[in-house]
Structure 1
Amino acid sequence: MNLTHPFLDADGDKLREECGIFGVIGTPEAAAMTALGLHALQHRGQEAVGIVSWNGAEFFARRGLGHVAQVFSEGSFLSELPGEMASGHVRYSTTGGQGLRNVQPLYADLARGGFSVAHNGNISNAMHLKHELVNKGAIFQSSSDTEVIIHLIATSRYPTLMDRFIDALRMIEGAYSLICMTPKRMIACRDPLGIRPLVMGKIGDATVFASETVALDVVGATFVREIEPGEIVEVRADGRTTSQRPFGKPAPRPCIFEHVYFSRPDSVMGGQSVYEVRKAIGKELAKEAPVEADLVIPVPDSGVPAAIGYAQQSGIPFELGIIRSHYVGRTFIQPSDGARHADVKRKHNANRALVAGKRIVLIDDSIVRGTTSMKIVQMMRDAGAAEVHMRVASPPTQHSCYYGVDTPERHKLLAARMDVQEMTKFIVADSLAFVSIDGLYRAVGEASRNNAQPQHCDACFSGQYPTRLTDLAEREADADQLPLAVGLDA
């Protein structure tokens, strides 16, 4: 969600979904419901949160750095956000993107009225468009790619706001799920490939939109359906709902990593329980990469469902051989490498009495840089494990994501630099195996991956990006023109 190149957190060993969005129209408790919905989506963004509301006469906003419970801890915030329509956003920041100016939803007064937007995803031609807009006199208040959408709407020559909105969307590429508000309506939409998720629900006469179904559950809303790829849904204050698909119906490419890690396990995505899919991935992994062992141990918490599946398929007992403390802040906020390394041990501790003398299978959702895997393998050895075998519930992450996920530059991804044998030595495991990409597709209900037209966006594994990457291409072209003595980091 930032115009700079996305980087991972300083620890660098977990992919991070950058945003979660929520919106509701048609209830006097709109702001309170939005705060509750954002709390359910806290895993999608833990550094900043914002809510914008509309009371029939004007827009109100409150934004802050920190968790939802910190920023909206007092009941007084409800009086600051009146009205029957509200939308909100939780986010992770990327390099150059910290600070209140980038906290969403973004709001602007346009010629035809106020407009706010909450965005999950990443616009892959945002820098190109920003340069064009700035050259025409536009003044940007943030470094967020989301602000590009507002400027495109403001400068469109179409007569109605909805026509201007559609015109703006036609100019952008990449991934987006949006919840927008105008004085007359709430608008929810997904990009034509549906890369990022968005669902719709109902609670009484109110309509709710959210990144995941778990947010509907938490606020007491009933799931209605997913917003279709390329669909724009408008809901007016009186409840009238209309839908249009101005971009045709290209083959969808929803992000497959939502099933692997991003979504909460108690969500439903594409009609499938995320929890059950993760168990199915573990079963596929057990079929593809069996090993003689005494215990199956998850790397908490994201490895738990896949580890259950692996244990069920293999017949090897499942045990909690690593205990996670839930009262430790995120690793990347530590100021030094030494503090970050110590923080890994504060977050995870070996269950020594269980592990000692055992051959164990460690199950994790992914390996990014490999540093955390190496430390956890060593932790198991220090606890007396006889053998440590690592199994990963996703294919090797070999490519960066440009669709709203924090990933390092490609040369910092372990799987982009090493083959599996080299990675095994790097993390000092007795063996290492990843689920195959076909195994992953089988787990999500497909017979196999259609290599000519993949059913999901799996670019982080395959390198097959489903859209143009204009900003990346222009950066690479500029780098190619630099003198040989000048590196990319100069």
Structure 2
Amino acid sequence: MARRVAGRSSIDLSPTASQRPLPGYGVAVCEDEVVDAREACGVFGVYAPDQPVAHLTYAGLHALQHRGQESAGMAVSDGEDIYVLKDMGLVTNVFNERNMAPLEGHLAIGHTRYSTSGSSTWGNAQPIYREPGDAGFALGHNGNLVNTAELMSDAGVLAGTITSDSDVVAELLQNAIRAGGEGERSDGRDLERALMEVLPQLKGAFSFVLMDDAHVIGVRDPNGFRPLCLGRLDAGWVLASETPALDIVGARFVRELEPGEMVVIDATGTRSLHPFATERVEPKLCLFEFVYFARPDSRLYNQTVHSARQRMGEELADQTPVKADMVMPVPESGIPAAEGYARRSGIPFGHGLVKNRYIGRTFIAPSQEMRNLGVRMKLNPIRENIAGKRLVVVDDSIVRGTTQRAMVRMLREAGAIEVHLRISSPPYKWPCFYGMDTGSRTELLAADLTVDEVRDYLGCDTLAYLELDRLLRATGAAGAGFCTACMTGDYPIDVPVKLGSPDLEEIDLVHPCG
């Protein structure tokens, strides 16, 4: 029988070892973010006999903190029971030596989460646990399904009883295990068989880590929208959204999971399965992983993200040169591209803005005035480096434009003579339905504006975006296959919504990524 350990009750926000209620659902909280775009979750899994897997998972989640800062959790098994600990907050807020002490075992999964539909509640924290079979299973999800309503209807699930697409998947797996006899067979592969049945029904973006009492399983959708990689320990295996999570636990990078692949890890080693029809498999890694989401020390498509971002800056300098006194980044994600721009253009590189690392990414901003205040809390100018200078300011993207508009005003107030904004990606015009928090076209500044109109709104002297062909070339993997839907409107998977509608947020996806 599985034991579930949760970090808090539905009221108390402080995780303590003494509080171990059953998982429950909290109250939805509506938030406006200071940041322009948010990714939706990091996943981690480890199978390592005689190793402190809970502590390895804790370390791995640290390396994936940038992918989700609203909640964190892990599930651990000793081969008999599954223990789950999760709570709202950063990894360091959720876990401590006291509440991790019961988490003994040799296999584990972990999860860091961003909500992508404004719902930030304890009930949506992951991993999700279900209890069919001898020990049940746990699931962590990075991505967003686009056929959730269809899946719920087919499964007879009532609206309002499920709060996330991850919950829908867990429900389908539970039903499949029970229909198959839940544990009546002696091979212990109930979860594996259920996945082979359920996965072909899913449409959208999903990188899963799952576990029962004997297996850790990684799954990547047929398009490979979100990254997932495999690493090797001396006596075990690791799955992670990004390669730095392998580095931090001392695992050697083996490979990225292929789009449409399922990797099963157990006492015998690893097995690779392919649940999806061949015609569905078409690599479409989210291009924004290279632009913004992934850590600069990550490797995607065998390319280092930091080097790719520097090449984006070099391409920008070639495409849109300008006379200036200093090239400066918008920290932190604009730094590599600014370095590349400065190197190619010969204009000196310098820092003009300091980022407050402690404001976090959940600043509640109910009005535009508060959003602007939030930007000032996040960024502050270095006046001595700015006054009297013509600046090239390099950023990775413009989504809502809140940050850039307030930043341009700050730079002028600090004495900048000219502000030339350079963006290391094309205009962001279309909402993402594959795991990023841009569900409405009405929120996207460039959706219906020309580049000149965006420039006028932001208040900069000139504005230029990196052309798509140049961006693809800068990745070093132009022919590998990318999703560019947010820039081109070319969606690899049909979404059940009319893209011309101003009410895209009404799409019935429930809350993506748990």
Question: TM-score, with normalisation over the residues of structure 2?
Answer: 0.85
Which residue of structure 2 aligns with residue 55 of structure 1?
78
2:385 to 351, 354, 363: 354
In the alignment, the residues of structure 1 paired with residue 371 and residue 77 of structure 2 have an alpha-carbon distance, to the nearest angstrom, of 42
Q: Does the residue aligned with 1:37 lie in a helix, a strand or coil?
A: helix
- Check the 8 A contact 2:147/2:204 in 1, yes or no: yes
- Check the 8 A contact 2:431/2:441 in 1, yes or no: yes
- Check the 8 A contact 1:13/1:368 in 2, yes or no: no
- Check the 8 A contact 2:313/2:339 in 1, yes or no: yes
Q: State the Cα distance separating 1:335 from its structure 2 match.
A: 5.5
1:10 to 32, 37, 44: 32
Pairs within 5 Å for 1:404-419: 404-419=435-450
1:169 to 199, 214, 234: 199
Q: Does the residue aligned with 1:17 lie in a helix, a strand or coil?
A: coil
In the alignment, the residues of structure 1 paired with residue 390 and residue 108 of structure 2 have an alpha-carbon distance, to the nearest angstrom, of 53
Instruction: Confirm whether residue 465 of structure 1 aligns to residue 465 of structure 2.
Output: no
1:149 to 169, 176, 180: 169
- Check the 8 A contact 2:199/2:275 in 1, yes or no: no
Q: State the Cα distance separating 1:239 from its structure 2 match.
A: 4.2
Pairs within 5 Å for 1:196-235: 196-235=226-265
- Aligned residue pair count: 463
Kindly provide the CA deviation profile for residues 325-382 of structure 1, in whole angstroms up to 9, marking residues without a partner as x.
2232336335554443223112211111111111101100000111211111111111
Q: State the Cα distance separating 1:8 from its structure 2 match.
A: 10
Instruction: Confirm whether residue 425 of structure 1 aligns to residue 456 of structure 2.
Output: yes
In the alignment, the residues of structure 2 paired with residue 158 and residue 60 of structure 1 have an alpha-carbon distance, to the nearest angstrom, of 24
Which residue of structure 1 aligns with residue 284 of structure 2?
253
1:70 to 70, 77, 93: 93
Pairs within 5 Å for 1:339-418: 339-418=370-449
Kindly provide the CA deviation profile for residues 58-97 of structure 1, in whole angstroms up to 9, marking residues without a partner as x.
111111000000111x211222212111111000123452
In the alignment, the residues of structure 2 paired with residue 397 and residue 319 of structure 1 have an alpha-carbon distance, to the nearest angstrom, of 27
Pick closer, same or farther for the CA change 1:225–1:429 going to 2, 3 Å.
Answer: same
In the alignment, the residues of structure 2 paired with residue 455 and residue 137 of structure 1 have an alpha-carbon distance, to the nearest angstrom, of 35
Q: State the Cα distance separating 1:137 from its structure 2 match.
A: 5.4
In the alignment, the residues of structure 1 paired with residue 44 and residue 35 of structure 2 have an alpha-carbon distance, to the nearest angstrom, of 28
Kindly provide the CA deviation profile for residues 375-407 of structure 1, in whole angstroms up to 9, marking residues without a partner as x.
111111111111100000110000000111111
Instruction: Between 20-29 and 169-178, report the one with greater CA deviation.
Output: 20-29
1:195 to 219, 225, 237: 225
1:242 to 271, 285, 289: 271
- Check the 8 A contact 1:97/1:143 in 2, yes or no: no
- AA aligned to 2:167 is E
In the alignment, the residues of structure 2 paired with residue 475 and residue 81 of structure 1 have an alpha-carbon distance, to the nearest angstrom, of 49
- AA aligned to 2:90 is H
Q: Does the residue aligned with 2:285 lie in a helix, a strand or coil?
A: coil
Pick closer, same or farther for the CA change 1:464–1:474 going to 2, 3 Å.
Answer: closer
- Check the 8 A contact 1:22/1:37 in 2, yes or no: yes
1:456 to 476, 479, 482: 482
Query: Which aligned runs of 4 or more in structure 1 are off by greater than 6 angstroms?
Result: 474-479
Instruction: Confirm whether residue 305 of structure 1 aligns to residue 336 of structure 2.
Output: yes
Instruction: Confirm whether residue 116 of structure 1 aligns to residue 138 of structure 2.
Output: yes
- AA aligned to 2:276 is F
- Check the 8 A contact 1:300/1:323 in 2, yes or no: yes
Kindly provide the CA deviation profile for residues 86-127 of structure 1, in whole angstroms up to 9, marking residues without a partner as x.
111000123452211111110101247511110000011112
In the alignment, the residues of structure 1 paired with residue 376 and residue 150 of structure 2 have an alpha-carbon distance, to the nearest angstrom, of 43
Pick closer, same or farther for the CA change 1:163–1:105 going to 2, 3 Å.
Answer: same
Q: State the Cα distance separating 1:276 from its structure 2 match.
A: 0.1
Instruction: Between 387-396 and 121-130, report the one with greater CA deviation.
Output: 121-130
Pick closer, same or farther for the CA change 1:475–1:166 going to 2, 3 Å.
Answer: farther
Which residue of structure 1 aligns with residue 119 of structure 2?
97
Instruction: Between 167-176 and 110-119, report the one with greater CA deviation.
Output: 110-119
Q: Does the residue aligned with 1:22 lie in a helix, a strand or coil?
A: strand
Instruction: Confirm whether residue 282 of structure 1 aligns to residue 282 of structure 2.
Output: no
Q: CA RMSD in A?
A: 2.3
Q: Does the residue aligned with 2:486 lie in a helix, a strand or coil?
A: helix
- AA aligned to 1:468 is D
- Check the 8 A contact 1:101/1:141 in 2, yes or no: no
- AA aligned to 1:322 is L
In the alignment, the residues of structure 2 paired with residue 331 and residue 103 of structure 1 have an alpha-carbon distance, to the nearest angstrom, of 15
In structure 2, runs of 5+ residues without a counterpart are 1-28, 182-189, 505-514
- Check the 8 A contact 1:37/1:218 in 2, yes or no: yes
- Check the 8 A contact 1:12/1:369 in 2, yes or no: no
In the alignment, the residues of structure 2 paired with residue 143 and residue 153 of structure 1 have an alpha-carbon distance, to the nearest angstrom, of 16
2:476 to 432, 445, 455: 445
Identity of aligned residues (%): 43
- AA aligned to 1:371 is T
- Check the 8 A contact 1:42/1:68 in 2, yes or no: yes
- Check the 8 A contact 2:45/2:110 in 1, yes or no: yes
Q: State the Cα distance separating 1:318 from its structure 2 match.
A: 0.5
In the alignment, the residues of structure 2 paired with residue 477 and residue 349 of structure 1 have an alpha-carbon distance, to the nearest angstrom, of 35
- Check the 8 A contact 2:32/2:366 in 1, yes or no: no
- Check the 8 A contact 1:358/1:387 in 2, yes or no: yes
Pick closer, same or farther for the CA change 1:461–1:30 going to 2, 3 Å.
Answer: same
Instruction: Confirm whether residue 41 of structure 1 aligns to residue 64 of structure 2.
Output: yes
Q: Does the residue aligned with 2:447 lie in a helix, a strand or coil?
A: helix
- Check the 8 A contact 2:38/2:116 in 1, yes or no: no
Question: TM-score, with normalisation over the residues of structure 1?
Answer: 0.90
Q: State the Cα distance separating 1:52 from its structure 2 match.
A: 0.7
Instruction: Between 90-99 and 351-360, report the one with greater CA deviation.
Output: 90-99
Instruction: Confirm whether residue 20 of structure 1 aligns to residue 46 of structure 2.
Output: no
In the alignment, the residues of structure 2 paired with residue 446 and residue 63 of structure 1 have an alpha-carbon distance, to the nearest angstrom, of 37
Q: Does the residue aligned with 2:44 lie in a helix, a strand or coil?
A: strand
Kindly provide the CA deviation profile for residues 379-438 of structure 1, in whole angstroms up to 9, marking residues without a partner as x.
111111111000001100000001111114102201102110100100011000000000
Kindly provide the CA deviation profile for residues 3-55 of structure 1, in whole angstroms up to 9, marking residues without a partner as x.
xxxx9961455211110001101243111110110011000000101111111
- Check the 8 A contact 1:234/1:243 in 2, yes or no: yes
- Check the 8 A contact 2:206/2:226 in 1, yes or no: yes
Instruction: Between 90-99 and 223-232, report the one with greater CA deviation.
Output: 90-99
